[in-house]
Homo-oligomer: A and B are copies of this chain.
Amino acid sequence: MGFRVAVAGASGYAGGELLRLLAGHPQFELAAITGHGTAGSTVAEVHPHLVTLADRVLAPTTAASLSGADLVFLALPHGQSGALAAQLPAHVKVVDLGADHRLTDPAQWAAYYGGEHAGAWTYGLPELPGQRGLISAAERVAATGCYAATIILALDPLLASGIASPDDIVVVAASGTSGAGTNAKKHLLGSEVMGDLTGYKVGAHQHVPEIKQATGARSLSMTPILAPMPRGILATVTAKPMHRVTEDEVRDVLIAAYAEEPFVFVQKKGQQPHTAATYGSNAVHLQAVVDLDSGRIIVTSALDNLGKGAAGQAVQCANLMLGLPETTGLPINGVAP
């Protein structure tokens, strides 16, 4: 009864959220948890909020420590998943939260990440048409990036339905600071980020090729913003309609696309998504309007970058890969205020 799952990279923010979800998952038993600089530490030292796991000790991140699991989550810095995954036995299923296996085109990998391309795995966004079945059948799944999930879920129905043009999509997306990870850098200090908004990687973010690959977008300008909050992404996705459209028409496209989806919620007309409403959950909140002046379609999309944008997404994929109900162990309601 149940499965044994392991977490490599358990000391990062995505790793910590994975531990939290796995600790509450009724079908998962937590096998090895590993860290790099934190190997030998207890969870109490690294994640004081995870009191039920306080005395668990982080092992070093090696294939040996992970191989006893039925499924391994890799929550490693970009570029480190490929080598480790290659050493895991074939019968061990793997969900990679990193970017290494998302892109199918080695040239795009080289352009946006650099280094050797590890090769593509099944893309782990179950809400994409046809993708759920592929994930269920896969042994290795590359979960989506946090920005990518936020933007793809807003954009894909517009392009798939033909209501919007794949050319000249413009996105601005703001993220909480946990997206920048646990590395201590001066510009991420509380003193620096509280009260501040700033752009970063403006015009050159590495999730652009991932979004284009998943949606068929042909031209995509994406500006990421660092926002003064720990979690959450709000994406403003604007696209040109193929012909003049109404707000109701665009909303209907989103509603139809996600009618059966357990984690995607199109807001009632007039309500805008709030990132705070998704905190701690695997939910995505969407809304669509049509710009009065330009006629552009504007879809706003909110999720928790550590939830549906990382750890929740990964557990959702793992549930599918192991034949469990997709929603097992995943909160849908956010924690607010």
Contacts and interface: CB of A to CB of B under 8 A. Distances in A.
Nearest to A289: B203
A39 to B, nearest CB: 16
B337 A273 contact: no
> Which size bracket describes the interface of A in this complex?
35 or more
A285 B212 CA distance: 32
A131 interface: no
B49 A203 contact: no
A60 interface: no
A174 B177 contact: no
B196 A13 contact: no
Contacts of A51: 265, 277, 283, 285, 332-334
Number of this chain's copies in the complex: 4
Interface in A169-188: 169-170, 172, 174, 176-178, 180, 182, 184-186, 188
Interface in A301-329: 302
A291 B287 CA distance: 26
Contacts of A295: 219
A189 B182 contact: yes
A98 interface: no
Contacts of A177: 189-191, 194, 337
A3 interface: no
Interface string A270-286: 01111111111101010
9 contacts: A20-B335, A44-B267, A49-B336, A188-B189, A189-B189, A190-B192, A197-B232, A202-B236, A204-B291
8 nearest A-B pairs in the assembled complex, by CB-CB distance: A49-B334, A196-B276, A190-B193, A172-B172, A49-B277, A197-B234, A184-B184, A49-B336
